[in-house]
Chains A and B, each alone.
Chain A
Amino acid sequence: MAEEKKPEFWRWAETNWVNPDIRWEDAQFITLGIDVGSVSSQAVIMADGKMYAYGNMRTGSDSPNSARNALKFALEKTTLTEDKIHYSIGTGYGRVNVPMADRTVTEIACHARGANFFYGPKVRTVLDVGGQDIKAIRCDKKGKVTNFLMNDKCAAGTGRGMEVFSDLLSVPIGEVGERSYQVDKEPLAVSSTCVVYAKSEATGLLRKGLSTNEVLAAYCSAMADRIYSLLERIGIEPEFSITGGMAKNRGVIGRLTKKMGLEPLTTTWDTQLAGAAGAALFGFALCQKGKGKGK
């Protein structure tokens, strides 16, 4: 039988990392944050509130196993074992299904805390564009939430929509941003941001003779509009930061930045980790308050 070859354009790289400068044996508290999202799962391990190791991978159909796999992936390059972790916090869409979690915290609180850690205390507005929802959060200098909005009913403008488009147009997900700018003239935005409607509209545009890059530009632009309307509802206060996978897509973020007239802060951390990092930090704070397990 002939072998079927099917490249998966939407598939993004799964990564894990360990901090070579930290010896976990020296840490007083080792905390774990697990963010089981609708599309990706992350496990972040912190030693006394410092990034020690992380694993970032796709969520399968089974949340408990996704959480286990993410943790296994994070521990892979370390000598640390699961029983040495003092406190674990589950967050994200699948947080109630994280088997090793000592408690759960909503992703709103975790993303604000994580953004505060990644971008510094000057962050006031956090936009998280996740796999299947968008969160707009305002926070104070300690990363405490002061105003939030989460749209998890409709996947318009989210990472999932971008995956559908990259698959439809056969463009690897990492190249979408670049390619959407390789157009002579910026096309009109796709009129619907609904993933299903936008996909059929895009098929129509392709038939009309628009190039792949132009269709990408039209969709990125529609997503920027959609995200902007949600941000407007809570009000944008500088400094502004973006977390979640979409922060890596220049096509959407560039257009959003232009609309807002405000540059987002940048970080060297993987923006997808913000939720899990926030959870691990909450774990550390709770340990310091004496709520951790005595191990």
Chain B
Amino acid sequence: MLANYGYSDGSGNYFITIDTDKCNACGACVEACPAQIFQVVDEDPNDPMNEEPLTIVVPEKKKKLKYECGLCKPSGDDRPALPCVAACEPCAISHSW
């Protein structure tokens, strides 16, 4: 499942996408993120029939991503990759902005 956490408002689109099929719940992103945006949970809140652990975006931070992610942004070709993206071995994390 592609889980898009975030929002779109008058200033732009701010979404972090986690591919739950790729995520192995290793927790590397939780360690890597300076803003503690990620969290590993025991079961998928969006799929009650699945009982595998996985990573989600902390619900309280979902509506503040533009600011929470500000520490690592902007990112681009001439800048190092975002810590969460770099830490994720299965490449499950992507950002929309």
A residues contacting B by CB (< 8 A) are 103, 105-106, 108-109, 144-154, 156, 192, 194, 229-230, 233-234, 282, 285-286
Residue of B nearest to A110 (CB): B48
CB pair A230 B1 closer than 8 Å: no
CB pair A148 B3 closer than 8 Å: yes
Which residues of chain A have C-beta atoms less than 8 A from B9's C-beta? 153-154, 156
Which residues of chain A have C-beta atoms less than 8 A from B3's C-beta? 148
CB pair B46 A153 closer than 8 Å: no
Contact flag A154-B8 (CB < 8 Å), given A145-B1, A147-B2: yes
Question: CA of A109 to CA of B49 in the docked complex: distance in angstroms?
Answer: 10
> Cβ of B90 < 8 Å from any Cβ of A?
no
CB pair A145 B48 closer than 8 Å: no
Question: CA of A230 to CA of B15 in the docked complex: distance in angstroms?
Answer: 11
Which residues of chain A have C-beta atoms less than 8 A from B96's C-beta? 233
B residues contacting A by CB (< 8 A) are 1-4, 7-10, 13, 15, 45-49, 62-63, 96
Contact flag A233-B13 (CB < 8 Å), given A145-B1, A147-B1, A153-B7: yes
Which residues of chain B have C-beta atoms less than 8 A from A230's C-beta? 8
Which residues of chain B have C-beta atoms less than 8 A from A147's C-beta? 1-2, 4
CB pair B15 A233 closer than 8 Å: yes
CB pair B45 A234 closer than 8 Å: no
Nearest CB of chain A from residue B29's CB, rounded to whole Å: 20
CB pair B1 A233 closer than 8 Å: no
Which residues of chain A have C-beta atoms less than 8 A from B10's C-beta? 154, 156, 192, 194
Residue of A nearest to B13 (CB): A233
Question: CA of A144 to CA of B15 in the docked complex: distance in angstroms?
Answer: 21
CB pair B7 A106 closer than 8 Å: no
Residue of A nearest to B14 (CB): A153
Contact flag A154-B7 (CB < 8 Å), given A108-B46, A109-B48: yes
CB pair B46 A151 closer than 8 Å: no
Question: CA of A142 to CA of B63 in the docked complex: distance in angstroms?
Answer: 30
Contact flag A149-B15 (CB < 8 Å), given A154-B8, A154-B10, A229-B8: yes
Question: CA of A106 to CA of B49 in the docked complex: distance in angstroms?
Answer: 12
CB pair A145 B46 closer than 8 Å: yes
CB pair B2 A148 closer than 8 Å: yes
Task: Out of B4, B45, B47, B63, name the residue touching A149 (CB < 8 Å).
Answer: B4
Question: CA of A192 to CA of B10 in the docked complex: distance in angstroms?
Answer: 9
Residue of B nearest to A230 (CB): B8
